[in-house]
Amino acid sequence: MIKNIIHTFKVLHWLGLSLLIFAIGLYCFTSLEQLRSGIVLIACLSGLGMVMMSPFPVALFLQWASTQNEHTK
């Protein structure tokens, strides 16, 4: 069960990272950051990407804790 959760969070982590990289690319390589709608788009993409990336380290810690619990038994 925990492996399915880890796999789901890993996929979300990579999708979030790609959204964040896409937002950075829009900011650096287009003039979209000068428009109000562009600022909103870049902020939403980067914020959503960071939110999608955040659960993965917690899931890795839970996996590590469960393996440590199994080793002590």
Q: Across residues 16-24, what is the average pLDDT?
A: 96
Long-range contacts of 1-8 (CB under 8 A, 24+ apart): 2/59, 2/62, 2/63, 2/66, 5/59, 6/59, 6/60, 6/63
- Paired tokens of 49: 């990407």
Q: Report the pLDDT value the prediction gives residue 33, as an integer from 0 to 100.
A: 86
> How does pLDDT run across 39-60, given as a tens digit for each residue?
999 999 999 999 999 988 888 8
Its pTM stands at 0.81
CA distance 58 to 64: 10
End-to-end CA distance of the chain: 20
pLDDT score recorded for residue 70: 76
Q: Tell me the percentage of the chain whose pLDDT exceeds 90.
A: 58
